[in-house]
Chain A
Amino acid sequence: MVETGHFALVLALVLSLVQSLVPLYGAHKGDARLMAVGGPVTVTGFAMIALSFAALTVAYVQSDFSVTNVWENSHSLQPLIYKFTGTWGNHEGSMLLWVLILSFFGALVAAFGGNLPATLRANVLAVQGWIGTAFLLFILITSNPFARLVPAPIEGKDLNPILQDIGLAVHPPLLYLGYVGFSVCFSFAVAALIEGRIDAAWARWVRPWTLAAWVFLTGGIAMGSYWAYYELGWGGFWFWDPVENASFMPWLSGTALLHSAIVMEKRSALKIWTLLLAILTFSLSLLGTFLVRSGVLTSVHSFASDPSRGVFILCILTLFIGGSLALFALRASSLTAGGIFHPISREGALVLNNLFLTTATATVLIGTLYPLVVEAMFGDKISVGEPFFNLTFGPLMIPLLVVVPFGPLLAWKRGDVFAVAQRLMFAFGAALLAVLVTFLFIDGASVFAALGAGLSAWLVLGALTDLALKAGIGNVALDMALRRFLGLPRSVFGTAIAHLGLGLTLLGIVGTLSFEKEAILVMKPGQVLEISGHSLRFDGLTPVRGPNFTEDRGHFSLLGANGQPSDVIMSSKRFYPVRQMPTTEAGIKTMWLSQLYISLGDETGDGSVVVRVWWKPLVTLIWGGALVMMVGGFVSLMDRRLRVGAPARRKSAQAKTSPVAS
């Protein structure tokens, strides 16, 4: 089974080579048969990689230590779920997951791209083939997960304990779905450059792919943030860590792409810019993969001492980014620019959005790469952290967020900002009220808190105003408004929901950062701690034995008003003997939107223990808001206008949907 997987991976490489060259040549020569090879080859290639991935997964689940990769990252005593997720909890396996998802998206284009112009489809698949070939070569040459070990050891070296968590089952797949989803936009962009023309279908295809990738990436980042929050035991939700930035940069530029794709689709404007953004977004995804996978982040020097992997990814990076940008420079001038628009218009607002988002991306990029450059050139290890990003990224976001509610309300081509401002009066008034309430009743000392609360209210209510106005509430009779509301295009709902989610996330961040309470103390069993109106009693530590770890579990009781325990919170420290590594399992109690977070420190010997307790108001909104954003993206993805009917099938499709379409 293992070798079958290995062989399937080799076959996938060869198929990917065919996919890279044959359809491209066919499109060049105008040969329909050669172009037609692209589809079946892509789908078969996906099947091969899926088989290969399944073989590796089986090896993990069965603890087959004759596979080096399994021996290095698994243990027979691990719970089944972690044996399973351990498949991608390591370098080799995660790269295999990466190409699996890449080929999956390629197969989707092949399967549902029947209504694309044949040459565009052939070129897109060929570009996907290039990416696939590069990464399959990378896997087989530098990081083969199917390397064997003879004789097989009897026990593995265990999975990194931090990864032994349900987060590993969700976070990397989501993140990769996002990263790799942008590869499709990239392939469309490069295909358009190869052809030298942008089809009208281009914009309609790029938008759903961008949306899908963006939804997954949002989920991946939010999940990663929550995972770090509860697993690392520091109680933080975002650390401006290079690994986090690596996923945040494609998200920022992907968000910009999402918005410029709207302009392009609706107005045929900003074509060239959208194309460039598509290239940049995937380039940042590749850069993220490079930063995380090459080991360059741990130390530039350790990267230089074992450079085979890093240099290979660097070559891929240079080839794809440099190649696509060179192609762009060559061809961009021959592309026709689209419609014109007034600066104050929906287009203008979206350009503003793009301007801020790309600048923000550049800021994060500088903050992430600067320490690496300094280390490489001068040998000093510096870190660029929160203060830098607070000073640069923060001020960029504020004007952007202020403008967000205006965007969807402005008309295309030529807008009236005063009319829109009038319509937003209600939201503005409510935001002002939120500022005042926060300032007067909650915390008079923090301007940040008051303004942040106001901005959040502005975003949330602005999004709701958008929906209300488009339904005509206030202008038409209520039942009419309701009918219009239900008849609104899904993309309108999607926009409003996503913007609302942004407001919620902001509220969560502001609430946590401004009103968080923290206590660090040594607690004896029976001692009671008062924090933010909650009484917490420490009941003592009990040792617990897990399948592959030992655990000191701290019991805490949340006391009700009568002094009786109303709830129990467990927080523990684990020790994984195989890797000789400790982990913390934070005790978290969610109350409405806020959380009580308990993390255990060292024992002092007499049964008392160092305890860190945080009260985090509104903290769940940070991730809840991201979930709402995902829902918004998903709703927008469901919009029927995104489905472009093929000429042949069009007639019947129209007959079915005619009540709406006519």
Chain B
Amino acid sequence: MLFWVIAAVLTLGASLAVLLPLTRRAEGEADASHDLEVYRDQLGEVDRDAARGLIAPSDAEQARAEIARRIIKLDAESARAPKSTSQLAPRQVGVIAVLAVPLLSWSIYTAIGSPEVPSQPLSARLSQKPADSSVDELIARAEAHLVANPSDGRGWDVLAPVYLRMGRSDDAVTAYRNAVRILGSTATRQAGLGEAIAGSSGGIVTSDARLAFEAALKLEPADPKARYFLALALAQEGKVADAATAWRQLSESLPADSPWRAATDQAIAQAEVRTAPANEAAGVAGPEQADIDAAASMSSGDRTAMIEGMVATLDEKLRQNPRDPEGWLRLVRSYQVLGKTDLAQDALGRAYAALGRDSEDGRKLTELASTLGLKVTE
């Protein structure tokens, strides 16, 4: 509201700047009198220079003569300068100009401005009530607090998993390291640190990350996160079978409602697909390694969502461009791995429709479908 008042006042001021001169009676004066003034000034200057001895008297005389000549020429010019006296058109111009100011400015501003967005100075955003703040603002406030009190271990401990969830792995590594340094090592912190390190190196469980997970297991041998990621490390080294075994052991020891169950089961399924001979025979790549790695560094809920998102994207792509045999193979397999058998069956049907059941691609599909346990006959 205040903004519109200010805008109205500004517009009024601007319009008045155009309007007022038009209402005033302006007296014109001949241009010649200005020129004359300049020449008179020059004459004075010549006199001064002559008095100071800067120019010879004869030169001064010559200069005076020249200026005088200019003054005479000036009189001749001003005598023949005509002026238009038509007043009608100028008045219309004035009216248009005065009206243009509010009309143009308001229409341009409504087209390009964002009057509904308030100013948001950072200090005001950081001091508002926590309930009104976004997650980003809360984090920024915590960061400001930790910059002032870097030895507040509890602060780091709280912030670290938040960073991890936001995907800010580098910051999470720092925060976990600070928490470990100040409050001491626990299985949760070490496992979190490992996950953060893996996340900051693009999902690869590096040796640093592995050290952290091993430290976690030393403190708490049953820690599911550490066990999960150590298995992932095996898978990334190419020991997929060992990884699957480790995951299976993890899966057996997990309580039924563990948040790690879904992730572990998916990992097992993926490992099985990767070790399946049909897959290798077809020479088909699974999801991008980068995607798997990214998925590994997420919490389980996010991971499922991400994988489902990727599959949905693939599905959409194939609806638009069905001539992609490899894509179909991957889609069918993905749905089956996610446990959505009816969707897998549906995808298989569409793939047949697009590629033809008896083509070479169709035969590959049939082969895959039979290894996955899907129905291949209509």
Contact = CB atoms under 8 A, between A and B. Distances in A.
Nearest to A476: B53
A611 to B, nearest CB: 33
From B20, B59, B66, B90, name the one whose CB has the most chain A CB atoms within 10 angstroms.
Answer: B90
B117 interface: yes
B90 A25 contact: yes
Contact of B100 (A4, A17, A30, A148): A17
B72 interface: no
A8 B119 CA distance: 16
Contacts of A662: 44, 47
Interface in B82-105: 83-87, 89-90, 93-94, 97, 100-101, 104-105
A37 B97 contact: yes
B105 A29 contact: no
Interface stretch (A56-64, A224-232, A352-360): A56-64
A491 to B, nearest CB: 10
B38 A31 contact: no
A473 interface: no
B68 to A, nearest CB: 13
Contacts of B121: 62-64
A577 to B, nearest CB: 10
Interface size class of B (residues with CB under 8 A): 35 or more
Nearest to B93: A25
Interface string B192-227: 000000000000000000000000000000000000
A21 B96 CA distance: 11
B113 A1 contact: no
A55 to B, nearest CB: 9
Contact of B55 (A22, A115, A411, A660): A411
A14 B122 contact: no
B70 A268 contact: yes
A494 to B, nearest CB: 15
B148 interface: no
Interface in B1-38: 3, 6-7, 10-11, 13-14, 17-18, 20-22, 24-29, 31, 33-38
B34 A7 contact: no
Nearest to A40: B17
Contact of B117 (A33, A150, A484): A150
A116 B17 contact: no
B137 interface: yes
Contacts of B62: 413
A32 B113 contact: no
Given A59-B119, A155-B140, A31 B90 contact: yes
Contacts of B66: 339
B104 A17 contact: yes
A647 B112 contact: no
A76 B89 CA distance: 56
Interface stretch (A88-96, A117-125, A249-257, A553-561): A117-125
Interface string A44-76: 100010010000000100111110000000001
Contacts of A15: 14, 17-18, 101
Interface in A394-429: 411-413
B120 A48 contact: no
Contact of B87 (A6, A31, A62): A31
A153 interface: yes
B37 A487 contact: no
B22 A37 contact: yes
Contacts of A3: 3, 113-115, 117, 119
Contacts of B84: 28-30
B34 A33 contact: no
Nearest to B83: A30
B120 A64 contact: yes
B97 A647 contact: no
A457 interface: no
Contacts of B94: 22, 33-34, 37
Contacts of B36: 647
Contacts of A8: 10
Given A11-B10, A29-B90, A63-B121, A647 B33 contact: yes
Interface of B: 3, 6-7, 10-11, 13-14, 17-18, 20-22, 24-29, 31, 33-39, 41, 44-45, 47-48, 52-55, 59, 62-63, 66, 70, 74, 77, 83-87, 89-90, 93-94, 97, 100-101, 104-105, 108-109, 112-115, 117-125, 134, 136-137, 139-140
Interface of A: 1-4, 6-8, 10-11, 13-15, 17-18, 21-22, 25-26, 28-37, 39-41, 43-44, 48, 51, 59, 62-66, 76, 115-120, 140, 144, 146, 148, 150-155, 197, 199-201, 204, 268, 339, 411-413, 470, 472, 484, 487-489, 641, 644-647, 650, 660-662
Given A11-B101, A13-B108, A37-B94, 17 more contacts: A2-B117, A3-B119, A7-B3, A10-B108, A14-B101, A18-B101, A28-B84, A33-B24, A34-B22, A40-B20, A51-B10, A62-B119, A62-B121, A66-B120, A118-B29, A200-B38, A200-B74
28 contacts: A6-B113, A7-B3, A14-B100, A17-B104, A18-B97, A26-B90, A33-B24, A33-B25, A33-B26, A34-B93, A37-B18, A37-B21, A51-B10, A66-B117, A66-B119, A118-B31, A119-B31, A199-B34, A200-B74, A204-B41, A339-B66, A412-B55, A472-B53, A641-B45, A644-B34, A645-B37, A647-B34, A662-B44
A-B CB proximity, top 8 nearest: A62-B121, A44-B17, A63-B122, A32-B26, A117-B31, A36-B21, A30-B83, A200-B38
